[in-house]
Structure 1
């Protein structure tokens, strides 16, 4: 009597495209997960802006940016930065739906905040009390920070709409810059506020939460980092390689998997030692 052998065929697991993308992101930090974002290099358009207006707006924007790019960092003055901000604000006033100007104004505002912090630090380090400190800028740090987040969020809102036929490389780059910039600010605040030195320090320097708008200052570091992770992932989807890697690094699911792996390795080591 011939024995019957039951053959078991292995079937590939049925995963949705989203599940596949999540698993790929968790275990391959260099991967480019399927995101549904279709970038069409041949397109040169932006939402809400006519092709005839785009080149004119870009020329005005370039003149503002060149004020900052053509000046060495060590030679930048408050007046130069504020002039660039004023030029970008004028563009926004005349064409409030031009997203790129918001992103670059946010960058210029951040430069202004960094400049003022550097000036303040230099003044605090001076021993000679006869030195008269420079007057502070009319734009306070808290106001500038709130404006930065408002500008980045407005740019994201203007460009985040369904695009059935794909988006241009310019469109994707502006979105990537906006998401990545906002993610960086959130992540920086989260890491600073969670560090032991920041919580125990009695220094009179500006606390890390002051680098955020008022409505975000009371959030715990874990929440801020989760928000940063989401923005990093969005920046990565639109083409920023650094944001893509940071999105994986700060992904809570990836962290959870990493913790599970570390715990399994710890138990393996303990069991191995038991046999020694």
Structure 2
């Protein structure tokens, strides 16, 4: 490249050729203000755990049993166990998150699933659970046709370090979709001027 190229030009070329093969680009990548999401950048900071480490260890065992129960096809039994955990330990975010997942397997109403995910987000004491809850909520909202809600929640999940959300957030960004389409069309016209 010649020395007349600006940093904007270099960022545009990098965005075009650095693996964004789907044709969807984030505006901030092109302007040079984009930075990768980091686990500690969440706008919702996880709060301290409401329970001591021994209690958490017991809850994880009960939760693992509920998950194994769901995986064996007894989803309603798993929901029952997770509901008992939540009744006894209402600040245990992971149980809400896993019950929401189990509800999704039973085709429960989106409002029921989202209520559990909102509770998980409210109670989360670490970024992994927070990221999972935001990502799951984004998937539910997308299925319901709420593109803005899906984009916001995928973005939040990505900021918490969730890998699925990191891949999905740029693809749900309406500006990125429009920009990607425009750049793809321009590149096609440059390659095939006729």
- Partner residue of 2:130 out of 175, 179, 197: 175
Q: Is contact 2:96–2:116 with CA below 8 Å preserved after alignment?
A: yes
Query: What is the rounded CA distance, in whole Å, between the counterparts of 2:151 and 2:105 in structure 1?
Result: 23
Q: Is contact 1:26–1:248 with CA below 8 Å preserved after alignment?
A: no
Q: Is contact 2:141–2:150 with CA below 8 Å preserved after alignment?
A: yes
Query: What is the rounded CA distance, in whole Å, between the counterparts of 1:146 and 1:189 in structure 2?
Result: 10
- Match for residue 243 of structure 1? 165
Higher CA-based Rg: 1
Q: How big is the shift at 1:183? A: 0.9
Q: How big is the shift at 1:34? A: 4.9
Q: Alignment RMSD, CA only?
A: 3.3
TM-score (norm. length: structure 2):
0.72
**Do residues 147 (structure 1) and 112 (structure 2) align?**
yes
Structure with more relative contact order (C-alpha pairs < 8 Å, separation 6 or more):
2
Query: What is the rounded CA distance, in whole Å, between the counterparts of 1:60 and 1:35 in structure 2?
Result: 27
Query: What is the rounded CA distance, in whole Å, between the counterparts of 2:39 and 2:99 in structure 1?
Result: 28
**Do residues 255 (structure 1) and 177 (structure 2) align?**
yes
Q: How big is the shift at 1:36? A: 4.4
Unaligned runs of 5+ in 1: 1-9, 14-20, 39-44, 114-140, 160-166, 191-223
Query: What is the rounded CA distance, in whole Å, between the counterparts of 1:110 and 1:35 in structure 2?
Result: 26
Paired residues, number: 169
- Partner residue of 1:232 out of 137, 150, 154: 154
**Do residues 101 (structure 1) and 95 (structure 2) align?**
yes
- Match for residue 139 of structure 2? 184
- Match for residue 122 of structure 2? 157
TM-score (norm. length: structure 1):
0.52
- Match for residue 28 of structure 2? 23
Unaligned runs of 5+ in 2: 9-25
